[in-house]
Structure 1
Amino acid sequence: MDKRSKIALYAIGAVIVLMMIAEITKPKALNWRDSYAAADKIPLGCYVLFNELKEVSSKPISVSTKTAFEGLKDFEGKEKTVRLFINNGISFDKQDSESLIKYVENGNSVFISTNYMYGILSDTLNIRIGTDYNNFFKKPSLNSFTSPNLKTNERHFKDVIENSFFISLDTINAVALGTTKVEKTEKISADSVPDTNINYIKVPFGKNNGAFYVHTNPFAFSNYHLLNGNENYAATVLSFLPKHQIIWDNYYKSGRKVITSPLRFILQNQALKWAFYIAMLSLILFVIFRGKRTQRIIPVIEPLKNATLDFTRTIGDLYYQHGDFTNIINKKIQYFLEQIRTKYYLNTNELNENFISKLAIKSSNKIEDTKALIDYMVYLKSKSNHTETDLIQLNKHMESFTKNTI
């Protein structure tokens, strides 16, 4: 790599480091997303409420991460409980609605705090929630209770609020527990919405003292309001509930954690997201600056093949085809004697009885077999012409000898 390329790489690396430092040190923007999840510490999360409930409740808090239909199966046949649903908007399907109705008919209670509620359950309770977008929406409001004894616990919500209320309800069965009041700053013609409206009701259901508690100000339970002097109002709202074990819903939440792919999980985590970006950038830089190899591929050189055996076989076939048995026999005898000299260090000039005895001992062959081989070799050396039978017989003697050789 030349000097200019190195300077360019160093400059790019310095820019990346500076961008990382700037991103890490800059103040994070406040997240105003409505979450209502128990683990979220953002302004509109429910971290404070969930942990306070665990402190003040005499019984452990159960957390449900399933639908109403699936979650209620886990508590069938057990003691009476109270199920809490807090979210900006809640809508139950037919199966969930029927499960909640059966759950309340068995003597349990359901608390719902939401700005918008739709579906079969809303129709069954004969209630409708709405808002006056001309006068009430996101304006300061006084949230109070119908009981005069609770006047000290009413609170004036000045900001971070959406003022919803009941625009219709079953006046025969529903019991009003709380109201919201907004002072209208402008008079609009044909305006029939009063300043004060009901925002908290109790609807008894069944014959076992079960009830639905419906509240239209979920903002009151957010971290923002609980940490800004409105905690008494939220505590009073929940004080109307029976003193049963609480089941906290963590499924019907706008801030429910939903991870559908590994990449989404990585991008949702700040540290993993930056690690992913750096890895991708590094890979791109590597491809740009190191895409071309600095050295050609070294070719693979196969080692030389040992062709001695093939050569020997070829020469043998050549001799055999020409019928020169005398030459082949002489070569085999010479090769055999060379092996004797090399392996057993014996002198082969005189093939006498002493030589035969020493060869038999060193090669672990019988003296008779060794003598037969040597005598046959001497006999063949004395002949001037040889036949194919002589060659075959010599080869048999040699194979028999070498088979028993150590």
Structure 2
Amino acid sequence: MKKLVIIILIIVTAIIALAVTIDYNTNPPVDWTESFNEKSHKPYGVSVFYKELPKLFKDQKLKTIYYTPYTYFYANSEEGNGEHIAEGNYILIGNSDYLDDADVEELLIFAGQGNTLFLSDYSFPQKLMDTLHLTIEVIKNKDSISTMSFSDAGLKSKTTNIDKIESSSYFSKIGNEDFTSLGFLEGDEELVNFIEIPFEGGSIYLHLEPKIFTNYNILKDQRYRYTEGALSYLPDATIYFDSYTKYFNSPYGAAEEKSQLSWFLEQPAFKWAWYLTIFLTLLFMIFNAKRRQRVIPIVKPLENTTVNFVKTISNLYYETEDHKNLIDKKITYFLEKIRSDYNLDTTVLNEAFILKLSQKSGKKKETVDKTITFITWLRTKNEFFEENLLKLNKHIEEYYS
């Protein structure tokens, strides 16, 4: 009897708590996280901007990049030797802090080969700043509002205000004399926040207010005109849209995905009936488990030391710089894996073998060809360096990805 009273009190308390929170959940607070995610419909996602890109660059391909620039451009180079074949405009909106020195170098190579690099963020990686001789400073905005304009008189009508920003960035020093000022912050003095810098055979565009490309600003008033003006400087070519941080890193905000229950959960009555049913079911299971199920002792599993062993062995090889030994072992294990998985003879690694492996594994022929060709090339060498080992590892990882 006492247990029954406790159960009833818990159920009543839960129902009251759910009723109190219904109003709060019916009108949930707006999430102002700056995700810059092309799949996010939240205020500071860029789904609208992303969807409009094909309209702004008609008859051009839009490629979404879910890898770092170094990984992507290396994988899309001539026979994996680092010679770029990608051509067009590389666009990155926000979260550029993930770019390391290798990524920056790849982007500079991309721009130098006659392509266009467009980055919009509050600041940029130090490697890029040092290469272009740039310095950025931050100022506080009055009333959290800033006015942005273009230097080109033909784009003056696209001047716009942007709100909900405590501070703004501007270029306080530009060491490259060939730069062109494209836009500035209006105020007591014009502070440059949008520039073009010629870089070898291409161009680099740097913009210091990524929020202007978000859903909130594009859909408010006529602010989308500023976005059109900024992108009007880019040539009509293939678009490479950087989505690496937005796709993999949850702190930047994941895209909203709807399940098959999404419509029911959007209806308050269905939603709370569903939640209450789950809660009561769990409550029933908990009380029944206490009465009927005996305590199960916890048996601690044996510790798996395989990973530590592998780390120890790999560190030993690395410290001795025995690159040839490591390369031989990686090739041997890779080919053994192919023999055991697909029952293929790996004695002769010719074009016929590449075709058979591609057909049996389901991998693209280009990917298989790059990996096997590089292995064949390595077998002709007597001296090896760390770079050879890293390239072999990349090819094998690309094959399994």
CA separation of 1:91/1:165 partners in 2, compared to 1, >3 Å: closer, same or farther? farther
Query: Residue type of the partner of 2:132?
Result: L
Q: Determine if the alignment matches structure 1 residue 214 to structure 2 residue 215.
A: no
CA separation of 1:88/1:182 partners in 2, compared to 1, >3 Å: closer, same or farther? farther
Would the aligned equivalents of 1:97 and 1:120 in 2 still touch at CA under 8 Å? yes
Q: Determine if the alignment matches structure 1 residue 147 to structure 2 residue 152.
A: yes
Helix, strand or coil: the match of 2:97?
A: strand
**1:159: which partner in 2?**
164
Displacement of 1:94: 1.4
Q: Determine if the alignment matches structure 1 residue 131 to structure 2 residue 138.
A: yes
Displacement of 1:201: 0.5
CA separation of 1:99/1:149 partners in 2, compared to 1, >3 Å: closer, same or farther? same
Would the aligned equivalents of 1:115 and 1:164 in 2 still touch at CA under 8 Å? yes
Q: Determine if the alignment matches structure 1 residue 28 to structure 2 residue 28.
A: yes
Displacement of 1:278: 8.7
Would the aligned equivalents of 1:35 and 1:255 in 2 still touch at CA under 8 Å? no
Task: Name the CA distance, whole Å, in 2 between partners of 1:83 and 1:47.
Answer: 17
Displacement of 1:291: 2.1
Give the helix-richer structure, 1 or 2.
Answer: 2
Q: Determine if the alignment matches structure 1 residue 16 to structure 2 residue 14.
A: yes
Unaligned ranges ≥5, structure 2: 78-83, 253-261, 266-271, 295-401
Residue number among 103, 110, 122 corresponding to 1:115 in the alignment:
122
**1:339: which partner in 2?**
none
Report the structure number with the largest CA radius of gyration.
1
Task: Name the CA distance, whole Å, in 2 between partners of 1:118 and 1:230.
Answer: 28
Displacement of 1:246: 0.7
Q: CA RMSD in A?
A: 3.4
Query: Residue type of the partner of 1:291?
Result: K
Helix, strand or coil: the match of 2:235?
A: coil
Instruction: List aligned pairs for 1:358-373, cutoff 5 A.
Output: none
Task: Name the CA distance, whole Å, in 2 between partners of 1:287 and 1:17.
Answer: 18
Q: Deviations over 1:161-187 (max 9, x none)?
A: 63110011124121111111235xxxx
**1:291: which partner in 2?**
290
Would the aligned equivalents of 2:100 and 2:125 in 1 still touch at CA under 8 Å? no
Task: Name the CA distance, whole Å, in 2 between partners of 1:47 and 1:138.
Answer: 28
Task: Name the CA distance, whole Å, in 2 between partners of 1:252 and 1:111.
Answer: 16
Residue identity (%) = 22
Residue number among 167, 180, 199 corresponding to 1:205 in the alignment:
199
Query: Residue type of the partner of 2:225?
Result: N
Instruction: List aligned pairs for 1:33-182, cutoff 5 A.
Output: 33-58=33-58, 59-76=60-77, 77-78=84-85, 80-87=87-94, 90=97, 92-133=99-140, 136=141, 139-160=144-165, 162-182=167-187
Helix, strand or coil: the match of 1:144?
A: strand
Would the aligned equivalents of 1:129 and 1:216 in 2 still touch at CA under 8 Å? no
Residue number among 228, 244, 262 corresponding to 1:235 in the alignment:
228
Query: Residue type of the partner of 2:290?
Result: G
Task: Name the CA distance, whole Å, in 1 between partners of 2:90 and 2:55.
Answer: 17
Would the aligned equivalents of 1:36 and 1:254 in 2 still touch at CA under 8 Å? no
Would the aligned equivalents of 1:139 and 1:163 in 2 still touch at CA under 8 Å? no
Would the aligned equivalents of 1:202 and 1:211 in 2 still touch at CA under 8 Å? yes
Provide TM-score, normalisation by structure 1: 0.58
| Mean Cα deviation higher: 88-97 or 285-294 | 285-294
Displacement of 1:45: 0.9
Helix, strand or coil: the match of 2:244?
A: coil
Unaligned ranges ≥5, structure 1: 184-194, 260-268, 296-406
Provide TM-score, normalisation by structure 2: 0.59
Task: Name the CA distance, whole Å, in 2 between partners of 1:54 and 1:15.
Answer: 53
Displacement of 1:243: 1.0
Would the aligned equivalents of 1:34 and 1:88 in 2 still touch at CA under 8 Å? no
